[in-house]
Amino acid sequence: MPALFTPDDVPPQDLQLADSMHRALASGTSHAIRKLIDNPLSLTEAYRIGAQVMRLRKADGDLVKGWKVGFTNRTIWDQYQVHAPIVGPMYARSIMRFTDPSSMRCSLEHIHEPRIEPEIVFEMRGSPNQEMDDSELLNCVSAIGQGFEIVTSPYAAWKFSAADTLVAGALHARMVLGPLMAVEQIPLSEWAQALKSFSVDLFCDTKIIDTGEAHDVLDGPLNVLRHLAGVLKDPEAGAAYARGIEPGDLITTGTVTKAFPIVAGQQWNTRIQGLPFEGVSLRLS
């Protein structure tokens, strides 16, 4: 693993930006963040600042428990003007797990401009690499399921660059996860095929809102896992985060549908076709 960037390696203005972003994400507010980044950031700078935000969160007592990969759905790239996937950590305090897929709950308090994304989630038992084939990747996975990622933007009206999103923890706010199915329950070859061909219908208060398909997400979630493994070994991201994919990590692979604004009181549901588990239902408060 590449050597860790330390605060001593981070210029003072970047430390200031990391502190401001950490406070904005913790409080669910939008403030003069963009005034601090009027000059465009390189991806190396953005990863370095994002990793400092992660260290600040860990200093507050939170623990990294996995990774999110965002902007894997190529149908939304033009909408947000971000044309490549992004990566950021997920935390013990941001992950909510439910055993009953019909009774999931999440508060939107302290989440700025929240949006909802139905995603396929892997629970890991090994550390994959980008050279692995589908069966080898699945041997690193202990269980698979579906959840909703609640994403946030500290940038007003969801206007940002790819580098901006890395500073903001890849826009992660919550992962609300339903029950997971052990990989051993069906053959690996069936998983591999299903993860390339499933579809998800997204409903809000019984009305269908959108439908997405596996191929929209980098041609399937296993390709997302492969991409993440490569990013975390890259000198830019790997050196900044100094953490790969660890046993027990949860990996969420990006929205299968478009992302939609949400408000308290709504009920969101999914219907999954082509995967061996049911959709989930989430009540927002």
- How many CB atoms sit inside 10 A of residue 222's CB? 26
Nearest alpha carbon to residue 198 among 277, 147, 252, 273 = 273
pLDDT digits (tens, 9 = 90+) for 104-147: 999 999 999 999 999 999 999 999 999 999 999 999 999 999 99
Query: What is the model's pLDDT at position 31?
Result: 54
Query: Which residues are within 8 A (CB) of 26 and not within 5 positions of it... i.e. 6 or more apart?
Result: 60, 110
Nearest alpha carbon to residue 225 among 240, 244, 243, 239 = 244
Query: What is the model's pLDDT at position 79?
Result: 96
Cβ atoms of 30 and 154 closer than 8 Å: yes
For residue 241, count CB atoms less than 10 angstroms from its CB and return exposed for 0-12, middle for 13-18, buried for 19 or more: buried
pLDDT of 9 strictly over 80: no
**Residue carrying structure tokens 């000059």:** 39
Query: What is the model's pLDDT at position 35?
Result: 47
Mean pLDDT of the chain: 92
pLDDT digits (tens, 9 = 90+) for 57-111: 999 999 999 999 999 999 999 999 999 999 999 999 999 999 999 999 999 999 9
pLDDT digits (tens, 9 = 90+) for 222-243: 999 999 999 999 887 777 898 9
Higher-pLDDT residue of 13, 166: 166
CA–CA separation, 133 and 30 (whole Å): 42
Per the structure block, which two tokens stand in for 253? 């692979």
Per the structure block, which two tokens stand in for 175? 């992962």
Cβ atoms of 212 and 203 closer than 8 Å: no
pLDDT digits (tens, 9 = 90+) for 155-165: 889 999 899 99
**Residue carrying structure tokens 């909703």:** 148
Cβ atoms of 69 and 251 closer than 8 Å: yes
Nearest alpha carbon to residue 67 among 113, 25, 123 = 123
pLDDT digits (tens, 9 = 90+) for 175-201: 999 999 999 999 999 999 999 999 999
Element holding 143 (H helix, E strand)? strand 141-151
Q: At 7, is the pLDDT very low, low, confident or very high (cuts 50, 70, 90)?
A: low
pLDDT of 2 strictly over 60: no
Query: What is the model's pLDDT at position 15?
Result: 86
Query: What is the model's pLDDT at position 16?
Result: 85
Query: What is the model's pLDDT at position 177?
Result: 98
- Our CA dihedral for 193, 196, 198, 202, rounded to 10 degrees, sits at 160
Nearest alpha carbon to residue 222 among 283, 95, 134, 140 = 134
Q: At 41, is the pLDDT very low, low, confident or very high (cuts 50, 70, 90)?
A: confident
Cβ atoms of 121 and 252 closer than 8 Å: yes
Cβ atoms of 192 and 222 closer than 8 Å: yes
Its pTM stands at 0.93
pLDDT digits (tens, 9 = 90+) for 244-277: 999 999 999 999 999 999 999 999 999 999 999 9
Query: What is the model's pLDDT at position 235?
Result: 81
Per the structure block, which two tokens stand in for 104? 């999931």
